[in-house]
Chains A and B, each alone.
Chain A
Amino acid sequence: MKAIIVDDERLARKELISLLGSHPEIEVVDEAANPDEAVEKIEKHDPDVVFLDIQMPGKTGFEMLEEMERVPQVIFTTAYDEFALKAFEYNALDYLLKPIQPERLTESLNKVNIKTVEKPSKQQKLGSKDQVFVKDGDKCWFVKLEDVRLFESDGNYIKVYFDKFKPMIHKSLNALDERLDDRHFFRASRKHIINLGWVESIDTWFNGGLLVQLKGGEKIEVSRRQSARFREMMSL
């Protein structure tokens, strides 16, 4: 499988490459010394896994991921960062402490093996198997889009509902709507995008609108204009 190493230190990259030497199944396709370079190379190669340093010039590894639309599987590498280690609340693949222990590296790589069974689709739109990186305050999550029940706009932010969390991301709902695959996500109203896979029940509502209840318990009104489309989609 393909890997990219992102670290601002040449020697740190070299050390990791030499450690990966004993894992012939891993092919290091490229290296990047800063986040900007990294984004470009990740988009170009679409690697299975990215080894990402957290402290880098210009931007942290977290900030880089936040700006990416579709994030790859990430293994963080850091020398010592209590804050960073506490940050992973949900679904982080793994992190490695430098200098890296070979056994820990093997463990991490095993986690990648299992996950790559379902490779992210390379289609233009974001599919349900793609994951996004969400950071809210001190906490970080890697979230598969299929796990997201609802996007709710709140001023300049969007609340992302999954599991028992609803962190905020700085984005507009319209921009997000354009990027999401409309076979899985439906724009219910000016304020909401729902995941069709999470719909529990549908009731009629005032003025020819609909009220959708999600499996997480949220009740979302579908505007009258969108209700016709929604009926059409669900009846198919």
Chain B
Amino acid sequence: MTKRKIYWLCQLLGWGIYGFIQVFLYTVAQGFDTNQALGVLYQVVYFIATTHFLRGLIIKREWLNLRLSYLIPRLLIATFLLSGLNYGYLLVIEFLTSTISRQDLMFLTVLINTLGYWVIYFIWAIFYFTFHYVERYNKSLKAETAAREVELKNLKEQLNPHFIFNALNSIRALVDENPRKSKESITQLSHILRNSLMSDRKKLIPFMDELKTVMDYLALESIRYEERLVTKFDIDRNSGKFMIPPLMLQTLVENGIKHGISNLKEGGEIKISTTVKRKQLHLQIRNTGQLSKEMHAHKGFGLANTRKRLELIFGSTAKFEIKNEDKNTVLTSITLPTIERSMLEID
């Protein structure tokens, strides 16, 4: 059922019941009177027309988006005016049917009747707003669930079981060969796991924290790949004040190893470098390998995700690019703006 249909159904049903009760009570008390019933019918029609007008006002003025402290006075005034009009309408009908009496024009009668209508209009408004608030709440719940699902999927991807189990396997062999190094590796692996598990709580982390995780990650991969993996770092000392989405550098470095170096018999090199220029952090990852056309077209989940995350947080001020720098090097570059304090407080 469309919202419009629901609205009209509620209108007719609600006011219908209202009218029926009026007639019913009058009939019980004083017997059925055609004139009274007709009067109620006029009223019902008038109520439907005026509340429909009120709905138009609510939609046009976007009252649904108002805070309650702004909304309530507006509603009170609008419904009061409608109530006054309603009584005026009644008087006009009475005048035309010559049933008007002096008493109907007395201040107290006018006041009591107007207040009575006011209550009725206000109840209508409560129904109307409750319906929309509930609906909006449901919608936001759905949106939130969807966002959580995406997050969870990211997290699963980021935990990269293939890496974890391979690392554990290497460490197991290392226990006999080099106990000291194997202990160190366990600490590094714990650091990475902890980071992955905590990352969903924060939108941005200091670049140096991320770099430290990546260094641990590369240390572990070096145990696996041994002489097949060479790592190099060239970090600008001013990089520390920049913020980066957690696991972003890690994902890119992992990609470089997974799609680049791990496919090469002789292995290769991965180099992470940063420069700070004009209040921007230029982050570059170079790895041995070659982007195939296929990979460009696919734009794997990781890359699309990286781009989206940057856009959501930094808008157009961040840049992301991946390309073949030469015949056997893939260059991934990210440009990040300095983050303002206000952005950090969003989350």
Contact A18 B173 (CB under 8 A): yes
**B contact face: mostly helix, strand, loop, or mixed:** helix
Q: Are B169 and A98 in contact (CB under 8 A)?
A: yes
Contact B226 A10 (CB under 8 A): yes
Chain B residue contacts of A11, Cβ below 8 A:
169-170, 173-174, 177, 223-224, 226
Contact assessment for B262 and A9 in the assembled complex, using a CB-CB cutoff below 8 Å: no
CB-nearest residue of chain A to B265: A57
Are B166's CB and A98's CB within 8 A? Answer: yes
Query: What is the CA–CA distance of A57 and B257 in the complex, to the nearest angstrom?
Result: 11
The answer to whether A99 and B169 have CB atoms under 8 Å apart is yes
Known: A9-B224, A10-B226, A11-B224. A57 touches B166 (CB 8 A): no
The 7 closest A-B pairs by CB, nearest first: A15-B173, A79-B165, A11-B173, A98-B169, A80-B161, A79-B166, A99-B169
Chain A residues within 8 Å of B, Cβ to Cβ: 8-12, 14-15, 18, 34, 55, 57-58, 79-81, 97-100
Contacts A34-B265, A57-B262, A58-B263 given; does A9 touch B166 at CB 8 Å = yes
Q: Report, as a range, how many residues of chain B touch the other chain.
A: 20 to 34
Option from B162, B170, B228, B264 in Cβ contact (under 8 Å) with A12: B170
**Least Cβ distance of A87 to chain B in Å?**
16
Q: Are B169 and A57 in contact (CB under 8 A)?
A: no
Q: Flag whether B308 is at the interface (Cβ < 8 A).
A: no
Does B294 lie at the interface of the complex (its beta carbon under 8 Å from any beta carbon of A)? no
Chain A positions within 8 Å of B265 at CB level: 34, 57-58
CB pair A97–B173 under 8 Å, yes or no, is no
Could you say which residues of chain B place their CB within 8 Å of the CB of A80? 161-162, 164-165
Tell whether, in the assembled complex, residue A9 and residue B165 are in contact, meaning their CB atoms are under 8 Å apart.
no
A79/B177 in contact, CB under 8 A? no
Q: Chain B residue with minimal CB distance to A77?
A: B169
Q: Report B94 CB to chain A, min CB distance, Å.
A: 80
On chain A, the residues within 8 Å of B226 by CB distance are 9-11
Interface contact B165-A98, CB-CB below 8 Å: yes
Query: Are the C-beta atoms of B262 and A12 separated by less than 8 Å?
Result: no
Query: Does B165 contact A18, Cβ atoms closer than 8 Å?
Result: no
Bound-state CA distance A148–B263 (Å) is: 35
Decide if B225 touches A99 in the complex (CB within 8 Å). no
Expressed in whole angstroms, the Cα–Cα distance for A81 and B165 within the complex equals: 11
Known: A9-B225, A58-B263. A14 touches B165 (CB 8 A): no
A147 to B172, CA, bound (A): 41
A residues in contact with B340, CB < 8 Å: none
Contact, CB under 8 Å: B162 / A15: no
> What are 29 A-B contacts with C-beta separation under 8 Å?
A9-B169, A9-B225, A11-B170, A11-B173, A11-B174, A11-B177, A11-B226, A12-B169, A12-B224, A14-B173, A14-B177, A18-B173, A34-B265, A57-B265, A57-B267, A79-B161, A79-B162, A79-B165, A79-B169, A80-B162, A80-B164, A80-B165, A81-B162, A97-B165, A98-B169, A99-B165, A99-B168, A99-B169, A100-B169
Residue of A nearest to B263 (CB): A57
Taking the closest CB of chain B, its distance from the CB of A197, in whole angstroms, is 42
Whether, in the assembled complex, B234 has its beta carbon less than 8 Å from a beta carbon of chain A, the answer is no
Chain B residue nearest to A35 (CB atoms) is B265
A97 contacts across to B, CB distance below 8 A: 165
Given contacts A9-B224, A11-B224, contact A18 B176 (CB under 8 A): yes
CA distance A97 to B168 in the complex (A): 11
Looking across the interface, which residue of chain B has its beta carbon closest to that of A58?
A: B265
Most chain B CB atoms below 10 A, which of A11, A57, A100: A11
Which residues of A have CB within 8 Å of B166? Answer: 9, 12, 79, 98
Expressed in whole angstroms, the minimum distance between the Cβ of A51 and any Cβ of chain B is: 13
What A residues does B168 contact at CB under 8 A? 98-99
Which residues on the A side are within 8 Å of B224 (C-beta)? 9, 11-12
CA distance A12 to B161 in the complex (A): 16
In the bound complex, residues from chain B placing their C-beta under 8 Å from that of A9 are 166, 169-170, 224-226
Whether the Cβ atoms of A15 and B172 lie closer than 8 Å is yes
Given contacts A11-B169, A11-B170, A98-B169, 15 further A-B contacts (CB under 8 A): A8-B228, A9-B225, A11-B173, A11-B224, A11-B226, A12-B173, A15-B173, A18-B176, A55-B162, A58-B263, A58-B264, A79-B162, A79-B164, A80-B164, A80-B165
Within the assembled complex, what's the spacing in Å between the Cα atoms of A14 and B174? 9
Q: Which B residues between 140 and 177 are near A, CB-CB below 8 angstroms?
A: 161-166, 168-170, 172-174, 176-177
Nearest neighbor of A81 in chain B, beta-carbon distance: B162
Docked CA distance A9–B221 (Å): 11
Q: Which residues of B contact A18 (CB under 8 A)?
A: 173, 176
**Would you give the 0/1 interface string for B255-282, flagging 1 where the beta carbon is closer than 8 Å to chain A?**
0000000111101000000000000000
B29–chain A nearest beta-carbon distance, Å: 76
Shortest Cβ gap from B171 to chain A (Å) = 8
Closest to B224 in A: A9
Chain B, Cβ-Cβ closest to A9 = B224
Q: In the complex, A12→B171 CA distance in Å?
A: 9
